[in-house]
Amino acid sequence: MSLPDNELRRIARQLNLPGFDMAQAQRLADARVLVVGAGGLGCPAMQSLAAVGLGRILLYDDDVVDLTNIHRQILFGAHDVGRRKVDAAADRLRQIQPGIEIDAIHERLTPDNIVSALARVDLVLDGSDTFATKYLVADAAEITGTPLIWGTVLRYAGQVALWHSGPGVDGGVSLRDFFPTQPAADSTPDCATAGVLGVTTAVVGNLMATEAIKHLTGLGESVPGRVYGYDALGTSLRSFTVRADPARLPVTELEDFYGAGACAAPPVMESDPAAARLLDLVREGRARALDVREPHEKLLADIPSGADLHLPTSEVSPERVRALLDGVAAPVVVYCASGRRSAEFVDAHADLVSVELISLPGGVNGL
C-alpha cells in the first residue's frame, strides 16, 4: 500500500537524503517493532521512530507516570502523572504521526508471553532497566531469531548494540556472547542510588532508534555484535565488536524465572505485623529511626514519623556508624527504599555498636 499524501509531506525532508527514497519509507511504514518499556530509553526511541515513519509499535510496560520520571521520559508531561505509561505514550506518538498503529499493553513481559509477542514483530527494542528483563528479552530473541536492539544507561554513560542470533541467522551474535551469565541484580548500583542524566538517556535512546532504522531500511552498516559506548561527560562515542563464542550452546528454551530488579522487594504493607510493630515503636518513641537513603530520596517518600538519624549509604564507614550511634540506648530501626540496603547495613555493623539494629522489611516502598 502506498503512503498517503499527508504522510509523504510529513517525511518530505527525509526523502531528500541520499539513499533514503520511497523504498526505505515504505519499509519503515510496513515494519513492526516491539518496544520493551516506556522509560528513559523507550520514550526517546519511540519518539524518533514515530517521527521517522515507523508503521507499528507493540508496547509493553506495566507502570504509571510518576513526577520523578519526567526529567528523562520525554513523552510525558506533568499532566500525565498517575496515567498508565502505555496510554500516555500512545497518545503522544499519535500526535507525532497520526497514522501510526500502536498496541499498548499494560503488562510486564514474562516467560509466558514474550515469545508470542515476538511472533508479531520484525524487531525488538529493549528499553528495560533490569538484568532480569534484559536476559529474558535476549533469550527470547535468540529462540525466535528476532533482531534485538539493546541499550543500557547509567549515570552519564550508556551502551547500544544490535544482537541477532538463532534460527535462520548465519553467524549470529547474542547478548550471551558478550555477557554469558546474567549478573546478580545488586551487582551494579541500584535504581535509587545510581542516578541518571536525562539527556544521556535521550542520546542513547536515539542511538537505539538509529540502529533500528538502519536495520529495517538497509541504510548504512548494521552489524550484529557491534557495541557502541557513549560517554556524556567526555562527549565521546567508541565502538568494539563482540564475536560469537563457538563454545556457547544456543538458547533454545526460556528459564522459568529470571529474577527481579535490584530495587524490587516483596510488597510489605504497614499492616504486616513485623513492619507495623517496628513503625509503632518509632512513633511511640521506644525506638529510633535511621534513614540510610541518599538525601534526594527523602523528596520521594518517607516513613510516617520520619527519621531523627540519617547516614547515607554512600557515606557509611565504621567510624561514622560508631560516632552516630554512640550513646543511643533505644533500638534503632534502619530503613531504605526497599529493605536491601538497610539489611546490608545491619549485617555489616551490628557487631560494631552496643545498640540493637533492626532492618525495616520492605523499606519505604513497602508502606
Each residue's pLDDT tens digit, 299-339 = 878 999 888 999 999 999 999 999 999 999 999 999 998 88
Task: Tell me if 250 is assigned to some domain.
Answer: no
pLDDT of 15 strictly over 60? yes
Closest CA to 208 of 11, 37, 30, 7: 37
| Single residue among 201, 225, 241 that ends a domain in this structure | 241
Q: Which amino acid is at 150?
A: W
Residue 81 shares a structural domain with residue 134: yes
Task: Tell me if 321 is assigned to some domain.
Answer: yes
Predicted local distance difference test score (pLDDT) of residue 44: 98
> Alpha-carbon distance 254 to 277, whole Å?
41
Task: Tell me if 266 is assigned to some domain.
Answer: no
Mean pLDDT throughout 359-364? 90
pLDDT digits (tens, 9 = 90+) for 203-249: 999 999 999 999 999 999 999 999 999 999 999 999 999 999 999 99
pLDDT of 269 strictly over 60? no
Q: For this structure, is 191 an active site residue? A: yes
Residue 39 shares a structural domain with residue 88: yes
Residue 56 shares a structural domain with residue 143: yes
Instruction: Kindly name the residue from 11, 96, 191, 309 that is annotated as catalytic.
Output: 191
CATH number reported for the structural domain that contains residue 25 in this entry: 3.40.50.720
Residue 288 shares a structural domain with residue 329: yes
| Single residue among 241, 261, 291 that ends a domain in this structure | 241
Predicted local distance difference test score (pLDDT) of residue 265: 39
Predicted local distance difference test score (pLDDT) of residue 266: 40
Better-predicted residue by pLDDT, 194 or 65: 65
CATH number reported for the structural domain that contains residue 331 in this entry: 3.40.250.10
In sequence order, what are the beta bridge partners of 151?
160
Task: Tell me if 248 is assigned to some domain.
Answer: no
Q: Is residue 258 within 8 Å of residue 278, measured between CB atoms?
A: no
Q: Which domain holds residue 349?
A: 273-366
- Band of pLDDT at residue 268, cut at 50, 70 and 90: very low
Torsion sign across C-alpha atoms 180, 181, 186, 191: positive
Per DSSP, 53 falls in state T
Residue 173 shares a structural domain with residue 283: no
User: What is 163-187 written as a DSSP string?
Assistant: EB-STT-TT-B-HHHHS-SPPPTTS
Predicted local distance difference test score (pLDDT) of residue 184: 79
- Band of pLDDT at residue 263, cut at 50, 70 and 90: very low
Residue 62 shares a structural domain with residue 17: yes
Residue 164 shares a structural domain with residue 302: no
Task: Tell me if 320 is assigned to some domain.
Answer: yes
pLDDT digits (tens, 9 = 90+) for 76-85: 999 999 999 9
| Single residue among 224, 241, 258 that ends a domain in this structure | 241
Q: Which long-range contacts (CB under 8 A, 24 or more apart) does 297-301 make?
A: 297/192, 297/337, 300/68, 300/364, 301/364, 301/365, 301/367
pLDDT digits (tens, 9 = 90+) for 149-187: 999 999 999 999 999 999 989 889 999 999 999 987 766
Q: For this structure, is 336 an active site residue? A: yes
Residue 218 shares a structural domain with residue 323: no
- Band of pLDDT at residue 262, cut at 50, 70 and 90: very low
Instruction: Report the chain's mean pLDDT, rounded to a whole number.
Output: 92
List the Cα angle 35/36/41 in 5-degree steps.
85
Task: Tell me if 45 is assigned to some domain.
Answer: yes
Instruction: Kindly name the residue from 54, 140, 336, 358 that is annotated as catalytic.
Output: 336
Residue 212 shares a structural domain with residue 342: no
Residue 179 shares a structural domain with residue 300: no
Mean pLDDT throughout 103-119? 96
Residue 122 shares a structural domain with residue 45: yes
Residue 361 shares a structural domain with residue 313: yes
Task: Tell me if 235 is assigned to some domain.
Answer: yes
In total, how many domains does the chain have?
A: 2
Task: Tell me if 167 is assigned to some domain.
Answer: yes
